[in-house]
Amino acid sequence: MADTKVEVLTPRDVPLGGPRAMTVRRTLPQRARTLIGAWCFADHYGPDPVAATGGMDVAPHPHIGLQTVSWLFSGEIEHRDSLGSHAAVRPGEINLMTGGHGIAHSEVSTPDTTLLHGVQLWVALPDAHRDTPRAFAHHVPAPVRVDGAELRVFLGTLAGDTSPVPTFTPLLGAEILLDPGASVTLDTDPEFEHGLLVDEGDVTLDGTPLRPAELGCTAPGRAALTLANTSPRRARAVLLGGPPFGEEIVMWWNFIARTDAEIRQAREDWAAASDRFGTVTGYPGDRLPAPELPTTPLKPRRNPK
């Protein structure tokens, strides 16, 4: 029998990006839940008036063992990475970067951006592919109308639309706009667990109310999800999904590995400016230094039973 409970996670505020930090709301990971499918990290930010906050300025920094997914609601971010990619992150366009064995990148909001608003997501790579070469992909999904909702499917398949962006495990990622008072039932893969991150509006997920910035999580076993907007204005949410990720992971700073020793080696490689991460060109400043590691060994994590 399917578990009908919707688990509601609340975010915590986290400074992002070193000395020029902007504040984000982080819903994954946390003690109650480490992953939704292979989704292992979710930062939600804005709408931030750049004139007051300074916007985003994240100096070159490293990643291993993951893919980053950038999705904006408003504003624009300039992306540079050690693969040589120089791309704009714009609303309604997915930029997916594969870290694998090692990559570095910078993220800076553009001078024309007045309001910065979006999500930054990470996907854990499975053990068989976590040392894959660095890569970068871009896609502009077309909007799909279903009842009183407009969907943009940036990863996986939903409502008959499939993203061409490749992933290493089955995944779902979609932005959903709900008309005032609208309700929509979406067929979903019963093998998936799902998470609905509410950006704005009063939304219910299978009858459970979610406030803005909350993440509603469901277990596998549901062949459909019902989303409703109970407010008189438009609502927006991001739906994430995937089959339960059966591997334990070690997460620290910008790294995902399987052991404490792998994390420590990655930190040492970054501090030594190893070729492992390559070089980001065009960023007007120094790269981010790695923080100090804890003295006790880092422990693997997975979702609580």
The DSSP annotation for 17-63 comes to SGGG-EEEEEEESBTTBS-BTTEEEEEEEEEEEHHHH---EEEEEEE
d(CA 72, CA 67): 17
Element (H, E) at 263: helix 260-271
Q: Please tell me whether residue 93 adopts helix, strand or coil conformation.
A: coil
Q: Is 7 annotated as a binding residue?
A: no
For residue 168, CA distances in Å to 52, 98, 129, 217 come to 39, 10, 7, 22
Does the annotation place 117 within a ligand binding site?
A: no
> DSSP class of residue 297?
P
Residue 44 annotated as binding?
no
Q: Is 101 annotated as a binding residue?
A: no
> Omega of the bond prior to 170 within 30 degrees of 0, cis?
no
Binding site feature residues for Fe cation:
61, 63, 105, 107
**Feature table: binding site:** 61, 63, 105, 107
